[in-house]
Amino acid sequence: MVTSAEHTAPPGGRLGRIRHIHQTLQHSLGPLPEPKAWQIVEDKRGTFECSAGLNRPAHATANPKVYLAGDYTLGPYPATLEGAVRSGVQCAQLLWSQA
């Protein structure tokens, strides 16, 4: 899960964020066990390195209920708003095709 903007973070610091993420995932996926381990990565750059031949993840994951969307996923555009929007549209189309 990716979140942005510190001012929107739930209370409770890093543990509060993990609880919020866990609750959000349960809302979408159903009951889940409590996380045994977790890690929060805070990246101040806000984008990935745009270099030729960069291996970017596809939308589908090993879990058929989880898809990746964002400017960092496999697609024809670098880290741009348009790339992120197109990625989200592709994920929505994939989900609808499975409904």
C-alpha distance from residue 4 to each of 1, 62, 64, 72 (Å): 10, 25, 25, 15
pLDDT one-digit tens code per residue, 5-17: 555 677 888 888 8
How is the chain split into domains, by residue range? 1-42, 46-99
pTM (two decimals): 0.50
Q: Which of 13-17, 18-22, 73-77 has the lowest mean pLDDT?
A: 73-77
